[in-house]
Amino acid sequence: MQADQLARGTAYNGQIRVYAAVSTALVQELQRRHQLWPVATAALGRTVTVTAMMGLMQDEGKVKVQIKGDGALGYIVADADAAGHARGYVHQPHVDRPLNEQGKLDVAGAIGSGFLYVFKDFGAGEPYRSSVPLVSGEIGEDFTYYFTVSEQTPSAVGVGVLVNPDLSVQASGGWIVQRMPGADEEVITQVIERVSRLPAVSSMVAEGLSAEQLLAQVVGPEGQVRVHQVVPLSFACSCSRERVENMLRGLGRDELQTILREQGSAEVTCQFCNERYVFERGEIERLLEDLNRP
């Protein structure tokens, strides 16, 4: 299996920008940590894969995406940084739905109708926030709409996850092509024609294509892709015992005393990675002593 990677490049002499991701191991890790059922694996996997490519679009900071639909999955949250670290979770990981009319996992049916929210933190300056209504709930089309309408960058997005019968992930990946200002109409027509005939990205990943090879495949030989950057993509969560301890301290004395009295210990589970942090009675008492100190 090829390593998880993100790649970005340009084509047609800089008239087109293109991004690609191979995210099989990342989505497998999400499946394992959150015990995702197949439609949740596909929905979260697609969302995290596009979010990871959006992370690469920035030089610094983080991108956070939320998809809130009225379907059985509830909401999906994903975030990623510019260095290829990504994570995410879905509100209801155990959703079972019949396959759709095309015989595929019914992601749109499990998400329902709602909104796609994007928050960008550039490390400095004002963060960016935007939202668009979901156009199909299939994720790829929703991001296409988001880039085109909200970021005013005409784009096409392909993203997909192949789930094995044993719930493991066979292949996962994605691509984004974007029109640069001043691009020739002829080039745009060629690109649209090309991407409309592309095989599913998950099949291309299953055949062994790397992120760099996906870039070339998406724009075709006429595009003469130039690869600008390839970075490893991996699961990473920023939670730690220290952070949880600070959070507990932030609850204040009264709240900690209530926890001690009613539960005797505190258990905190990180939503993003499902890591469990347990603070026993003695540790909470020590936190209380710290807080009592002037």
Which residues contact Zn ion (rule: CB under 5 A)?
Answer: 237, 239, 270, 272-273, 275
- Of 209 and 273, which has the nearer Cβ to Zn ion? 273
- Of 87 and 120, which has the nearer Cβ to Zn ion? 87
Distance, CA of 178 to CA of 119 (rounded, Å): 20
DSSP state of 4: P
Q: How far is the CB of 85 from Zn ion (least distance, A)?
A: 12
Q: How far is the CB of 78 from Zn ion (least distance, A)?
A: 13
Q: Which amino acid is at 270?
A: C
Inter-residue contact 242 to 26 (CB < 8 Å): no
Which tokens in the block code for residue 44? 């979260």
Which tokens in the block code for residue 62? 């983080």
- Of 275 and 283, which has the nearer Cβ to Zn ion? 275
- 124 CB neighbour count, 10 Å cutoff: 7
Q: How far is the CB of 90 from Zn ion (least distance, A)?
A: 15
- Of 146 and 279, which has the nearer Cβ to Zn ion? 279
Distance, CA of 133 to CA of 136 (rounded, Å): 9
Q: How far is the CB of 271 from Zn ion (least distance, A)?
A: 8
- Of 19 and 272, which has the nearer Cβ to Zn ion? 272
End-to-end CA distance of the chain: 57
Residue with tokens 């049916």: 109
Q: How far is the CB of 83 from Zn ion (least distance, A)?
A: 17
- Of 94 and 276, which has the nearer Cβ to Zn ion? 276
Among the residues of the chain, which ranges form H helices? Answer: 24-34, 38-57, 107-111, 140-145, 185-196, 201-206, 211-219, 241-251, 253-262, 281-292
Q: How far is the CB of 237 from Zn ion (least distance, A)?
A: 3
